[in-house]
Amino acid sequence: MLNINLNEDEGIVLLEPNGALSEEDFKAAASIVDPYLEKSGTLNGVLIHVKSFPGWDSFAALIRHLRFVKDHHQKIACVAFATDSPIGELAEHVASHFVNAEIKHFDFDELNEANNWIKTSAQE
């Protein structure tokens, strides 16, 4: 399951996975993010907050995840990973070669710092 919280005033979506990610999780995220993007054109940031990366429940979920990234990355200014998982560090260094968004890794307990980084970076 993926908890999705869009703060429309700040243009930041908080994603908090709770268990293996499913195809439906990414459909749900798109159903919340897409109308906002249609209205505003861009999202200041995506904040992914998870202690350790839960993986995907199927290959179809992985494909849906990649499609979500492909369809949205040009409309997102920043992506912050607040996680103790090594994938946060990996994403900061690898994903930046494939997406337009600025990416930064924070420790799981640094959720507020990650949120503030998105706000500050989006204003620059």
Mean pLDDT of 56-67: 83
Could you list the residue range(s) of the whole structural domain that residue 54 is in?
2-123
Query: Over the stretch 84-101, which tens digit does the pLDDT of each residue have?
Result: 987 766 666 566 645 677
More confident residue, 96 or 75: 75
Where is pLDDT greater, at 71 or 92?
71
Number of independent structural domains in the chain: 1
Reading the block at residue 85, the tokens are 């998982």
Distances 49 to 16, 20, 35, 38, 82 between C-alpha atoms, Å: 5, 14, 22, 25, 5
User: Mean pLDDT throughout 73-77?
Assistant: 84
Mean pLDDT of the chain: 86
For residue 112, the domain's CATH number is 3.30.750
